[in-house]
Amino acid sequence: MAKVSTIRDVAELANVSKATVSRYLNGTLTLPTDTKKRVDDAVVALSYRQNSLARRLSIGRSETIGLAMPDVANPFFGELADAVEEAASEGGFGLSLCITRNRLEREALYLSWLDTQHLDGLLFATNRPDDGSLKKLIGERSNIVLIDEDVPGVDVPKVFVDNVEGGYLATRHLIEIGHKRIAHVTGPEALFTVRERLAGYRRALGEAGVPFDPSLVRFGAYDRRFGQLAAAELIAREVPPTAIFAASDYLVVGMLEALRDRGLDVPGDMSIVGFDDMEFTSLLMPPITTMRQSARELGRAGVALLLAILAGDSAIPATTLASAATSGKPVHRLPVQLIERASVAPPYER
């Protein structure tokens, strides 16, 4: 019976420590080029994990892409991950789900996997403002696609939705129903999506001749708790708004809780429009009017673009709907759609 190679055998043949081999193969250590080659050659020569890692090293790729995203508790990211896995599998690739929890050190770890053949490419979705650190970490890598949220200054392909149009259509819908005191509850002020949706909100107000009131805008986290806090603050005003445009359906869940705790009815006392069109929005009471940005289409478009890059194809995949481009890599925009349900009604003036 042939002897099964161990990590010690690989370390001895490559003339490095067992810890070095282990960390390298786990994707937590980047080695100099000559050392990396010795370890790779030893893995192949000894048939270490012959059915997976050795084969992948021998052909020069991992046949795996990664999806780096903040969490899976947010239904938007859960649906995004499901679509990415499905599309990656159809393309003959496995998926490594990389949960960053919006921490730079975890984002750095998963980016380093691109240098160790752990991943062939990475779909990257951050949800926090960048101070330049993430831009520096991404650097000149070409096998990355940003999805949903931008990292300013990074010249890689990107897939976003039309956030400005979404903010505009949501706010215009409330104005057409008769609302003028429209609040906007959104995410961290420095985020790209937040700025774009706010721009759409302000554009709709301006077209209707409604003055922009910054005191009606609440910046915070894209989560349920902030939705509660923001709604509570807004309805406690001496003259509260009659409608709220929320930049995330997840915020709407908390807003509904805050309104109901105070005996207020939606849409009788407050109209609400969300953003995302997550599956649960049609099941809430009342069902929520929202801007549809398809997490599934976003994920599938991102995979199509990444696999085209890995195949050396510079053409825009047919599954992405390109409407803009930068001076560098292309920016692909997916359309949004207003989904009307029961959370909007004409304002009730006491």
**CB-count burial class (<10 Å; 0-12, 13-18, 19+) for 336:** buried
pLDDT, tens digit (0-9, with 9 covering 90-100), for 75-119: 889 999 999 999 999 998 999 999 999 999 999 999 999 988 789
pLDDT (average), residues 306-335: 67
What is the reported pLDDT for 157? 94
pTM value?
0.80
Does residue 57 carry a pLDDT above 60? no
* 65: β partners: 95, 121
According to DSSP, the residues that pair with 271 across neighbouring strands are 243
Query: Quick one: which of 149, 177, 97, 196 has its CA closest to 331?
Result: 149
pLDDT (0 to 100) of residue 324: 41
Q: What is the pLDDT of residues 136-180, one digit of tens each?
A: 999 989 899 999 999 999 999 999 999 999 999 999 999 999 999
Q: Which of 237, 180, 185 is nearest to 204 (CA)?
A: 180
Digit-coded pLDDT (tens) for 201-245 = 999 999 999 999 999 999 999 999 999 999 999 999 999 999 999
Q: Is the pLDDT of residue 350 over 50?
A: yes
Band of the pLDDT at 72, cuts 50, 70, 90? confident
Question: What is the pairing mode between strands 330-334 and 337-339?
Answer: unpaired
The CA-based angle 83-86-91, given to 5 degrees, is 125
Are 231 and 201 in contact by the 8 Å Cβ rule? The answer is: no
d(CA 341, CA 313): 42
